[in-house]
């Protein structure tokens, strides 16, 4: 981890507190398992439009890249002997969340792959084959401040949640609708954790984290945007099935920024104005 990143971390107590609050909320969430989540025999891709079928394939690819996402956090917040004990303590507290987050996202990937096979969209072997090339692509984020990893995920999780809700509203297959409901609920909880952590950074480090957050928004790309072949053409296609625009999440980022400090200063106001201007582009 770059020296600047290590110096800008939250205290272990603040990180552990955010993790504890996440698990407290998750304890009240409805548990679900791919094998029993729904009656897979009722799944029918023939009820979907061509755009909806493409959207299912797209979000399966995005969710299935979980090894890449997880590696990003384990590489930048290592839990081994490569870091000092104080840094290890912080990273280990965060790891409690990231390993749970990974398990939930992997459940999403498995559920979407199961839907494709059960609904007749593709057979199981074809689904697995289609996920190899994008799955092997390396996922990287050009960040050097720890708050950026959480600000990025805040936007990404909220944007995904919103898209799942909007796709659910038009999905022709009720089984897909049920699945998207479960996924969007999980993404909402993940967003809550990221918002909690970003808020803690703003309260602890103040103006020092504003430029790093601004850089996230200025350079934001959804996962695999730069590595998945035909990503932008595919993204436009799924937007025809249901509105897909990651800037829909910026409204929620602005709310986090406004709530994080009691007396917003000029620089925070400039960041909020910048985020709002990005929403209008």
What local confidence, expressed as pLDDT, does residue 99 receive? 96
pTM > 0.85: yes
Instruction: For domain 3-279, say whether CATH 1.10.620.20 is its number.
Output: yes
Q: What residue spans define the domains of the chain? A: 3-279
- Token digits of residue 179: 């699945």
Poorest-pLDDT segment among 119-128, 207-216, 220-229: 220-229
Hunting for tokens 């409805």 — which residue is that?
A: 30
190 vs 103: CA distance, rounded Å: 12
- Statement: residue 6 has pLDDT above 70: no
164 vs 8: CA distance, rounded Å: 34
Residue 159 burial (CB count, 10 A): 22
> CA torsion 54→224→131→231, rounded to 10°?
40
- Statement: residue 243 has pLDDT above 80: no
How large a percentage of the chain has pLDDT more than 90?
67
Q: What is the pLDDT of residues 195-218, one digit of tens each?
A: 999 999 999 999 999 999 999 999
How large a percentage of the chain has pLDDT more than 70?
95
Q: Which residue has the higher pLDDT, 266 or 70?
A: 70
Q: Which residue has the higher pLDDT, 139 or 14?
A: 14
Poorest-pLDDT segment among 10-14, 77-81, 228-232: 228-232
Q: Measure Cα distances from 20 to 15, 17, 136, 190, 273 in Å.
A: 9, 5, 33, 13, 33
Phi, psi angle pair for 237, to nearest 5°: -65, -45
Q: H/E/C letters for each residue in 8-70?
A: CCCCHHHHHHHHHHHHHHHCCCCCCCCCCCCCHHHCCHHHCCHHHHHHHHHHHHHHHCHHHHH
- Token digits of residue 143: 């960040």
Residue 12 burial (CB count, 10 A): 17
Poorest-pLDDT segment among 54-68, 90-104, 220-234: 220-234
Q: What is the pLDDT of residues 18-39, one digit of tens each?
A: 999 999 999 888 889 999 989 9
- Statement: residue 2 has pLDDT above 70: no
């Amino acid at each position: 981890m770059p020296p600047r990143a290590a110096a800008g971390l939250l205290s272990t107590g603040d990180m552990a507190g955010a993790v504890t609050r996440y698990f407290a909320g998750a304890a009240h969430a409805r548990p679900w398992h791919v094998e029993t989540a729904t009656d897979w025999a009722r799944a029918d891709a023939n009820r979907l439009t061509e755009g909806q079928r493409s959207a299912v394939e797209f979000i399966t690819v995005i969710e299935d890249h979980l090894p890449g996402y997880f590696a990003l956090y384990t590489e930048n917040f290592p839990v081994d002997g490569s870091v000092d004990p104080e840094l290890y303590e912080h990273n280990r507290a965060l790891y409690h969340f990231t390993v749970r987050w990974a398990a939930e996202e992997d459940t999403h990937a498995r559920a979407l792959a199961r839907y494709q096979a059960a609904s007749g969209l593709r057979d199981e072997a074809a689904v697995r084959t289609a996920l190899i090339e994008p799955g092997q692509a390396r996922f990287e984020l050009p960040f050097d401040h720890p708050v950026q990893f959480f600000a990025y995920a805040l936007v990404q999780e909220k944007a995904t949640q919103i898209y799942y809700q909007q796709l659910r509203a038009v999905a022709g297959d009720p089984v897909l609708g049920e699945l998207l409901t479960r996924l969007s609920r999980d993404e909402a909880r993940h967003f809550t954790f990221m918002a909690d952590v970003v808020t803690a950074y703003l309260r602890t480090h103040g103006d020092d984290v504003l430029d790093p957050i601004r850089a996230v928004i200025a350079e934001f790309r959804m996962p695999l945007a730069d590595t998945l072949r035909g990503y932008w053409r595919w993204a436009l296609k799924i937007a025809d099935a249901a509105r897909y625009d990651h800037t829909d999440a910026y409204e929620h980022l602005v709310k986090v920024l406004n709530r994080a400090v009691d007396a917003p200063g000029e620089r925070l106001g400039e960041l909020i104005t910048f985020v709002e201007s990005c929403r209008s582009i």
